[in-house]
Structure 1
Amino acid sequence: MSTMILELQHVFKNYSLEGRDIPVLKDINFQIAEGATVAIVGPSGSGKSTLLGLCAGLDQASTGSIKLNGIELSGLSEDKLAQIRNQHVGFVFQNFQLLPTLTALENVMVPMELRGIRNHQPVAMVLLERVGLADRANHYPSQLSGGEQQRVSLARAFANKPKILFADEPTGNLDAETSLIIEEMLFELNRASGTTLVIVTHDLELAAKTQQIIPIKGGQIQ
């Protein structure tokens, strides 16, 4: 029997605009098993990124239940949500989100420092080696190509050994050749660490490489 790492029941998300409620997500229900690879797919404006934000505890649902690793997220304080993200969640973003004043190695070390993990430099170095960037450890993001920056962000995402990794359009800013390299590294790191992987993408070829596809359109699962 698989353990469920993520469970959504009757999730709705509305935003207020000039006193009116605008529905963005409507009655979302799904489960994701521990260790699974999943793609949330849909056109621009379908609610994919909003859904990812709710699942990762970056935002709160208007109504409904979201359980992450058995923890009910609704009603939790910002501090508690941040603590849960730090303990359980990794992120890869389309625009890399590296800290420009830190080297590649220092960027990978940040999540471990936030958790108070000691002797983290060797661990960060091993992760950089696994993404083929050991020789670029002391370079700053501005000295790295887009593909290299995304490889650093992959290494950083796995630094805390997250239970679940959310990747939001991870190849959206990369050319086709670089995208394939990043995808291979993402799935390989994921396999090695046994992490659950949730990719938000409009790229159906990338989605086809996952075990489960959740199609969303107009804020509803199709």
Structure 2
Amino acid sequence: MSSTMILQVKHVFKNYQIGDNNIPVLNDINFEIEPGSTVSIVGPSGSGKTTLLGLCAGLDQSSEGDIILNGIKLSGLSEDKLAEVRNEHVGFVFQNFQLLPTLTAIENVLVPMELRGVKNGQKEAMDLLDRVGLAARADHYPSQLSGGEQQRVSLARAFANKPKILFADEPTGNLDAETSLIIEDMLFQLNKESGTTLVIVTHDLDLAAKTQKIIPIKGGKIQ
């Protein structure tokens, strides 16, 4: 496999120990993703796709196999080191937005910048909010924003870090059809402008069809 890949997944297994039972969730997963590409991981509920996303993003460790993210082998890294890798290389968009309720829109966008030690990120954060059409709502709290607006803030936050790779877990799962299309367009546009690699986990085949590559997963295996 070429080392120029942004993400390499090699013979990855994931099992969960529940009581005396060893529950297999992922079984010998192999794929690689080129920098700057758009990829979707599709499958029914319970297929293992969200577990796979968590492993690829360094949120969890595989039971066996290797995941290499931007040249960094994730297996065996400490929690602190994994957090460092995520801060440095990874952006996230979640189905349920995961904005901090006590912070305004612009403060939420500033969080990843502050974690990286970026000083005076105010202008950049405002620029990102402007790009998702929310500059006028910068001082609003999540509870004052609609679901679509909250997801737009989370898009701005995801790109605040200038991530090498962005993982989106069912990014339109909580939105109506019309709002979903707006969010999808923004996601792909921001991704293209930033030259980021985009990996979307979804059961929405129309959304998956917009990506350059589809990885279908079922019963913990790539089909």
TM range (shorter): over 0.9
Q: Normalising by structure 2, report the TM-score.
A: 0.99
Equivalent residues of 1:108, 1:159 under 8 A apart: yes
Following superposition, the deviation at residue 2 of structure 1 comes to 8.8
Paired amino acid for 1:69 = N
Paired amino acid for 2:87 = N
Equivalent residues of 1:38, 1:211 under 8 A apart: yes
Equivalent residues of 2:12, 2:64 under 8 A apart: yes
Equivalenced residues, count: 222
- Give the ranges of 4+ consecutive aligned residues of structure 1 lying more than 4 Å apart after TM superposition: none
Q: Which residue number in structure 2 is paired with residue 174 of structure 1?
A: 175
Q: Which residue number in structure 1 is paired with residue 65 of structure 2?
A: 64
Following superposition, the deviation at residue 72 of structure 1 comes to 0.4
SS in 2 for 1:12: strand
Structure 1 residue runs without a partner (length 5+): none
Structure 2 residue runs without a partner (length 5+): none
Following superposition, the deviation at residue 201 of structure 1 comes to 0.1
Q: Which residue number in structure 2 is paired with residue 28 of structure 1?
A: 29
SS in 2 for 1:132: coil
1:29-178, aligned counterparts within 5 Å?
Answer: 29-178=30-179
Paired amino acid for 1:190 = N
Following superposition, the deviation at residue 8 of structure 1 comes to 0.6
Shift in alpha-carbon separation, 1:70–1:2, aligned structure 2, 3 A? closer
C-alpha separation in 1, matches of 2:138 and 2:113 = 16
The reply to whether residue 196 of structure 1 matches residue 192 of structure 2 is: no
SS in 2 for 1:118: coil
Equivalent residues of 1:2, 1:34 under 8 A apart: no
Q: Normalising by structure 1, report the TM-score.
A: 0.99
C-alpha separation in 2, matches of 1:19 and 1:126 = 52
Paired amino acid for 2:32 = Q
Paired amino acid for 1:54 = L
Equivalent residues of 1:2, 1:33 under 8 A apart: no
SS in 2 for 1:52: helix
C-alpha separation in 2, matches of 1:137 and 1:8 = 39
SS in 2 for 1:11: strand
Shift in alpha-carbon separation, 1:135–1:177, aligned structure 2, 3 A? same
Paired amino acid for 2:107 = E
Paired amino acid for 1:39 = S
Identical-residue share of aligned pairs (%): 81
**Residues 56-93 of structure 1, C-alpha deviations (whole Å, 9 max, x = no match):** 00000000010000100000000000000000000000
Equivalent residues of 2:3, 2:71 under 8 A apart: no
SS in 1 for 2:160: coil
C-alpha separation in 2, matches of 1:133 and 1:35 = 26
SS in 1 for 2:100: coil
Following superposition, the deviation at residue 17 of structure 1 comes to 1.1
